[in-house]
Chains A and B, each alone.
Chain A
Amino acid sequence: AQSVTQLDSHVSVSEGTPVLLRCNYSSSYSPSLFWYVQHPNKGLQLLLKYTSAATLVKGINGFEAEFKKSETSFHLTKPSAHMSDAAEYFCVVKSQDNFNKFYFGSGTKLNVKP
Chain B
Amino acid sequence: EAQVTQNPRYLITVTGKKLTVTCSQNMNHEYMSWYRQDPGLGLRQIYYSMNVEVTDKGDVPEGYKVSRKEKRNFPLILESPSPNQTSLYFCASRWTSGGGDTQYFGPGTRLTVL
Mark interface residues in B74-113 (1 if CB within 8 Å of A CB, else 0): 0000000000000000101000000101110111100000
Q: How many residues of B contact A (CB 8 A)?
A: 25
Q: Which of B50, B90, B105 contacts A100 (CB 8 A)?
A: B50
Shortest B108–chain A CB gap in Å is: 6
Q: How many residues of A contact B (CB 8 A)?
A: 22
Complex Cα gap A55–B98 (Å): 21
Are A104 and B44 in contact (CB-based, < 8 A)? yes
Complex Cα gap A54–B102 (Å): 17
Complex Cα gap A46–B58 (Å): 21
Are A94 and B42 in contact (CB-based, < 8 A)? no
Complex Cα gap A96–B91 (Å): 22
Chain A residue at minimal CB-CB distance from B107:
A43
A residues apposed to B, CB below 8 Å:
6, 9, 32, 34, 36, 41-46, 49, 51, 90, 94, 100-102, 104-107
29 contacts between A and B (CB under 8 A): A32-B101, A34-B102, A36-B105, A41-B108, A42-B107, A42-B108, A43-B4, A43-B90, A43-B105, A43-B106, A43-B107, A43-B108, A44-B92, A44-B105, A46-B102, A46-B103, A51-B99, A90-B43, A94-B101, A100-B31, A100-B33, A100-B56, A101-B45, A102-B33, A104-B35, A104-B42, A105-B42, A106-B41, A107-B40
